[in-house]
Every structure is written in structure tokens, then in C-alpha cells.
Chains A and B, each alone.
Chain A
């Protein structure tokens, strides 16, 4: 039971499926069990969330995993100190294209599965044909320049031999506007979190061609961003919050709870969309459009495979991609500071003593596990992987500088 004097935490969120962890924390009583009052405020832009954290309206928020790093590097117009002591799941994005682009890709490639390599080959051929015929560049949208969507999309293009700066145009569109922008021809495709791919696919406004889980299996997407001075002054409240969100994540991951969760999330104060477009990410059974449906249990993972653990190697990878996207210039100190925005130490402190396995390392080599494997954990062992990029490249955070230099050489094919 919450008491009159239980601490109140206000969290901002954007209407996306991975807000599920925070929504369940509030709605299923996990916050209450920890003696917290969690208030959730829906916002319209990531900029608003950042600004409202800066002035103390929000103590924490559902935010894009690279955002706290961008803020630390001074890449955003408003200075704010945000740490990431917890991740909010793995996966959850997809790339959706217009029906016209799908048909063009399907004519020159194979699009039955969500396989990133095949989709990349097909879009590469379409881009090449457009160039030969003097047609304009394809316009692809992401939600924010400092987002996993942007870096996933760019990685996929690069690894498919396409230069995202030269061969296509990448624009920013708010998530809820994506399906309409696609339907009215303003953009040719987008990379966005659910439910907005499913909204477009189920309304036959476009077709999903590949997913984040295919581009980079078990990859990071959103984090629990926490305003640094709050983390410092109220560690007890922060720990209680992390515990409650972690328990909520386990609840979200239970297949038996999918339909209840979808019902809660469809409410007007949360996502305000039909449950049918929320369910695909939760169940892994995704309607792709153009008469295709797939089942991918890795599509979005709220809990399994240490999905809420804030790996410093994830932060380091985002930093490497900021350099690759020319958003910042390589600097070893920045790289180290970027990694330290992620705080696995706080995560471990909060969850110590609970029946949740905690990785004992802060860093891991991304792409090293082709199979699920037991790894060392603080208390026994934990199942991780498979992880890895679709092009087979390994990201070893100890070789960060070499990775950045190699990528600066341009697209590979």
C-alpha cells in the first residue's frame, strides 16, 4: 500500500510499445509494492521530455538509449545531466516501406522473411535502378537523430553497400505521424518503434521489410533516463523504482499477460490505439503487410537475456555510431565518458538480494554469441544471446578506436 507520504516519482513517456515497462509498473501495482507513487505523463516529443527533466518536472523518463549520451556530449540544445541505470528492453523496432517501394523491392529481391541481408540487397538494387533512371533519392524517416532507429537504419544501409548520406535522404518525423507520411507519399520508408509499423502494415499503408532484431539481435533501444541530481539525492527512491520496473518487465514478458497489457496500453491516456496494433510486438507474431505474417520471439524482449541491464558496451556502440554519422568527432575521453553515462553499478545495487540474475561484467563483445549461452553472473549464471549484427561484424569495446576508424572508410558490400 502507498501511504500519504510515499515518495512520488514522475516519469515522462512517448506513446510507444516499450513504454510498457513503465505503464505496467504503475498499473499492475509494482510501484506501490515498493512504496512508490509513480505518475506517468505522456509527451509529444523527445525534446519535451529532455527539457522537462532539466527543470525537474520529471525525475525520470522512457527515453531513446543514445539521448543521455548526446546530452552529455553537448549535442542537444538544452544542457541536462541524465544517467541510464536501466534499459527498457531489447528490440522493438522495424523498417517499413511504402507499398510502391515494397513492390519495387520484391520485383528484384526476396522479402518473405524479415531478413535484414535480403531486404538490404533488394533496397540496394532499387536505389541503383533509381540512380540509373534519374529518379530522386528515396526518403527514409527516423524519429530522432540520436536514436537507435537512426543508427540501426544507417548501419543496415552501410552494411548493404548504401551510403546513408549520399544515396538516400534521412528525415525526422514524429512516431505517430509516420504511417500517414508513408501513405501520402511524403516518405518512402521509416524505421520506428512499435506500434507504428503495425499501424501502417495492418492498414495496408505499407509493408514491414526488416526488424531491429534481424539487423542486430538482442540490441538496445530505450533506457530509463534518470536526472542525475535526483539519482544522487534519492538513491533509495531510485533503487525502489528500478526494482519495481524490473519486476514489471518480467510481468510484461509473460505471454499470459499480453492481452491484458495490450488492453491497458490502448487506453486514451497511454498509446490511444487499438490493442491489435500493440499485440504484435508483445507476442512476436507480426502482420507484415502484403499477405505476410511472421513469428519472431526476439522481436521485442522486455525481460529475457538481461534485457533491462544497461551494458556499457551498448553506450560505447552508440558513441561509435554518433561518430560515424558525423554528429561528433572521435575523442577517446568522450568515448569513455559516454560509456559512463550507463550505470550498471546502480542497477546491481538496486537489485541485490532479489531473485534476478545480474551479469558480473559491465561490457560485452557484441556479436560474439551465435547461440544462447550461459554466462557468469553475480549469483550463478544467466542466459545471454544470441546477439550480433546481420553482417557478421563483431563489436569489441576494447577495440573501439579501430572499429570507428574502419567504419569511417564508408559502406561495405
Chain B
């Protein structure tokens, strides 16, 4: 007998992350996936969605409201419990570190739902990594811009070539044990202050 497909509800205010989770779930063969960004709409739709598994991001302040909904069992027919049981501390910790939490309908077999949480954890982690890399790329771009401005100032005021200006910044940074972009920022700020 083939088990009835699991109905999975993903609640995430971050639309991009929700899409990544959804893609992962569908890739794993889960076809009944609902994404909601606004928890306040869950109350109205939960009986219709009738979820077996709920995945929610930990940054969502509405978790308390969601749990209250679980207590009012009338709203969702069956009680829902935290996905991982207390014997599974490592899994809970991995989930919390990744910033995700999950609930399941009581009585569902652990083997059926465990891969869903594992997938959510890895996608949440991948998403944070992606955000971090994006942030690093953004700040690298910012650094390059400020270094270019500092080079221009040196080239103009000291009549240096571009290469010599860069070497001067680099040497100063090394002598002062600071980042080139910090030296460049100081120079740009100082020259702004000295502007007539």
C-alpha cells in the first residue's frame, strides 16, 4: 500500500528562502507543498491545507501564535507536536542553529518526516551561506570603490602613477597592521575634511 502523500506547509516571511525549500521538497518527491509568508493567514487556511508537517523559520515572532493554534485542536483536527523528540537533541540543535523549526502531526512515523527536516536544515544553511557570500561580495565591491578613490587622491596630490599610489596604500596598511580599505577610507575622509 502506498502511503498518502504528506501535506507540507512552509511558513517563511523570506520569499526567496521559501522558494528554495519548496524546490527541495518537490525535488524529493513531495507534491503537496503550501507556502505562506503571513502567519496571520494560517489560521484561516489551516483546515484547508490540513498539514502533516509544518516548517517555520525561527526568526518569525508569530511562532507563539502558531503554537496556540495547535493547542486549540478544534482548528486542525489533530494535535501537532514538535517534530523532533527530546531524545533527538542533536537534530533539534542542528535545526535551531540553522534557524528553522518544524512540527508534525502526532503519530507520523519519524522515518517519513526526518528527511524533510534534514532537507530544510541544509537548505536554510545553504541560504545563510549564500546571503553571507552576497554580503562579502557587496563589501568587497565597496572596498574596491574606496581604494580607487584613495588612489585617485594620491595620484592627483602627489603626482603618482596608479601603481605607485596602490603600492603606497599597501605599504602604509602593512606598516600599521590595518586593511588597505581602512587606510583608503581614512584618506578619503581626511581629504573630504580638508576640502575647501
Please state if A57 and B96 are interface contacts (CB–CB under 8 Å). Answer: yes
Contact string, B40-65, partner A, CB cutoff 8 A, digits 1/0?
A: 10000000000000000011111111
Q: CA A176 – CA B64 in complex, angstroms?
A: 13
Q: CA A51 – CA B101 in complex, angstroms?
A: 9
Please state if B61 and A177 are interface contacts (CB–CB under 8 Å). Answer: yes
CB-contact partner of B96 in A52, A76, A145, under 8 A: A52
| Contact A79/B86 with A48-B58, A172-B68 known, Cβ cut-off 8 Å | yes
* B89 is an interface residue with CB less than 8 A from chain A: yes
Please state if B61 and A77 are interface contacts (CB–CB under 8 Å). Answer: no
Q: How many residues of B contact A (CB 8 A)?
A: 24
* B124 is an interface residue with CB less than 8 A from chain A: no
Closest to B84 in A: A78
Nearest CB on B from A253, distance (A): 29
Nearest CB on B from A107, distance (A): 31
Chain B positions 46-94 with a Cβ under 8 Å from a chain A Cβ: 58-65, 67-68, 70-71, 80-82, 85-86, 89, 92-93
Q: CA A171 – CA B66 in complex, angstroms?
A: 11
| Contact A45/B71 with A55-B92, A55-B96, A57-B96 known, Cβ cut-off 8 Å | no
| Contact A327/B71 with A44-B60, A144-B64 known, Cβ cut-off 8 Å | yes
| Contact A75/B86 with A45-B64, A48-B58, A52-B96 known, Cβ cut-off 8 Å | no
Please state if B63 and A47 are interface contacts (CB–CB under 8 Å). Answer: yes
* A residues in contact with B81, CB < 8 Å: 77
Closest to A145 in B: B68
Q: CA A78 – CA B67 in complex, angstroms?
A: 10
* A190 is an interface residue with CB less than 8 A from chain B: no
Q: CA A80 – CA B63 in complex, angstroms?
A: 17
Please state if A75 and B71 are interface contacts (CB–CB under 8 Å). Answer: yes
* B103 is an interface residue with CB less than 8 A from chain A: yes
Nearest CB on B from A145, distance (A): 5
CB-contact partner of B61 in A76, A176, A186, under 8 A: A176
Nearest CB on B from A137, distance (A): 15
* B residues in contact with A389, CB < 8 Å: none
Please state if A77 and B70 are interface contacts (CB–CB under 8 Å). Answer: yes
Nearest CB on A from B163, distance (A): 43
Closest to B65 in A: A172
Please state if A77 and B58 are interface contacts (CB–CB under 8 Å). Answer: no
Contact string, A73-102, partner B, CB cutoff 8 A, digits 1/0?
A: 001111110000000000000000000000
* A residues in contact with B70, CB < 8 Å: 77
Q: List 24 A-B contacts (CB under 8 A).
A: A44-B58, A44-B61, A45-B63, A45-B64, A47-B67, A48-B58, A51-B92, A51-B101, A55-B89, A55-B92, A55-B93, A55-B96, A56-B93, A77-B67, A77-B80, A77-B81, A78-B82, A78-B92, A79-B86, A144-B64, A174-B61, A174-B64, A177-B61, A327-B71
Residues of A within 8 A of B (CB): 44-48, 51-52, 54-57, 75-80, 143-145, 171-174, 176-177, 186, 327
